[in-house]
Amino acid sequence: MPLVPTASIVDAARDARVGAAAFNVIHLETAEALVTAAERTRLPLILQISENCVRYHGSLRPLTKATLALAEESTARIAVHLDHLTDTELVHQGVAAGAGSVMVDASALPYEQNVATTAALTAWCHERDVYVEAELGEVGGKDGVHAPGARTDPGEALAFVRATGVDALAVAVGSSHAMRERTAELDKDLIAALRAALPVPLVLHGSSGVPDDELRRAIAAGMTKINISTHLVSVFTRSIRQTLDGDPALVDSRKYVKPAREAVAQEAARLLEVLNTPAAAPALRRTEVIAGG
């Protein structure tokens, strides 16, 4: 199937008040697992490649091209997005490689510089029909710039969106990057206020630390794009540990990576169902939905 624009996935999810799933690619095996999950559930998925991932691999183009190829050969509706790009050159490289959307992350800069940098790159991307996400103030965690208690002010967010022209905005509502336990409680009242104030979809970063029911409630309150990385990375790593612990003599990496890939596919499929099930309704497996009509 041809690559799907990120805008079409996010806008459709916003209209339907469900979540637009955005799961991070770490290497080819996770990309394969995530595509498998989208195919099994027949639900749309945004594959994300972060700047940290690019740095790990040494360059942007090889993994991005491989991910694009997987998306284009899949029967599922898949978009490819570049996440947390702080380097202007990587934005240019990503667009040239074929990514349909980017997150311009100038959030560590002072506000006026964040606005100027984001506006300039957004204009450049829009000239090339590329969708742009940005962040106002850094979401909690990782670099310690903000505590998990950081919150986005709706008025400031509206001014930022108007000044930059971005298509989606990542906001701070109680989540934190790189959480290993799913215990975060989100500010649903603030999410509702941001949804009412902003003309663009809201993005939740740090969703790995948010439990299923809380994710559903956040979506019901107005959150749309849901980014998940650490949780799925943990599933992959846990599977490999279990396989190697069970057979310390194992040396063929395919024999421990394959079950890890399958474990991620299963969990990603489950999360896709969670994000596409309204908070007021019981969770349904995709087979039940198909059987019912």
The whole-number average pLDDT for the span 214-225 is 94
> How far, in Å, CA of 234 to CA of 231, rounded?
5
Band (pLDDT 50/70/90 cuts) for residue 278 is confident
Pick from 20, 26, 50: nearest CA to 38 = 20
Q: 57-62 — which CB contacts under 8 Å span 24+ positions?
A: 57/27, 60/90, 60/93, 60/94, 60/97, 61/93, 61/97
Encode pLDDT of 33-65 as tens digits. 999 999 999 999 999 999 999 999 999 999 999
Does residue 83 carry a catalytic annotation? yes
Whole-prediction pTM value? 0.89
CB half-sphere exposure, 120, CA atoms < 13 A = 9
Band (pLDDT 50/70/90 cuts) for residue 2 is confident
CA angle at 141 for the pair 137 and 145, rounded to the nearest 5°: 45
The whole-number average pLDDT for the span 112-126 is 96
Amino acid at 120: A
pLDDT(289) > 80: no
Domains of the chain, residue spans: 6-291
Predicted confidence at residue 115, as pLDDT, reads 94
Of the candidates 83, 105, 167, 187, the residue annotated as catalytic is 83
Q: What mean pLDDT is reported for the chain?
A: 89
The whole-number average pLDDT for the span 11-23 is 96
pLDDT(281) > 50: no
- For the chain, percent of residues with pLDDT exceeding 90: 77
Radius of gyration of the chain (CA): 18
> How far, in Å, CA of 99 to CA of 107, rounded?
21
What region, left, alpha or beta, does residue 134 occupy, with left being phi > 0 and alpha being psi -120 to 50 degrees? beta
Second-level CATH architecture of 6-291: Alpha-Beta Barrel (3.20)
The whole-number average pLDDT for the span 132-145 is 62
Encode pLDDT of 149-191 as tens digits. 678 899 999 999 999 999 999 998 875 544 555 556 688 999 9
Predicted confidence at residue 208, as pLDDT, reads 79
